[in-house]
Amino acid sequence: LDTDLWSLGVITYAMTVGYLPFEDPDTNKLYKKILHLDYIIPGYVDKQCKDMIKSLLVIDPSNRFKIEDIKRHNWFK
């Protein structure tokens, strides 16, 4: 389930921005981007949506948003 919530962050980013948060043709560089959370959310993305994405794209699953957190979040409501 925790990986599903990471994926939800990637999907939310892609649907909002129009492309994936982590992309690189070199697989090693791609993995490094993911592990270092090397992505940029464009300025036109709603502040609440940015907060939701940042709360889902968290490396440590124990610190990542859970379903209950998502349901309480203003952007979700």
Contact 13, 21 (CB under 8 A): yes
Position 10 pLDDT exceeds 80: yes
pLDDT band at 32 (very low <50, low <70, confident <90, very high): very high
Please state, rounded to an integer, the average pLDDT across all residues of the chain: 95
**Which among 51, 41, 39 is positioned nearest to 16, based on CA atoms?**
41
* pLDDT score for 43: 97
Torsion from C-alpha of 26, 14, 3, 33, nearest 10 degrees: 30
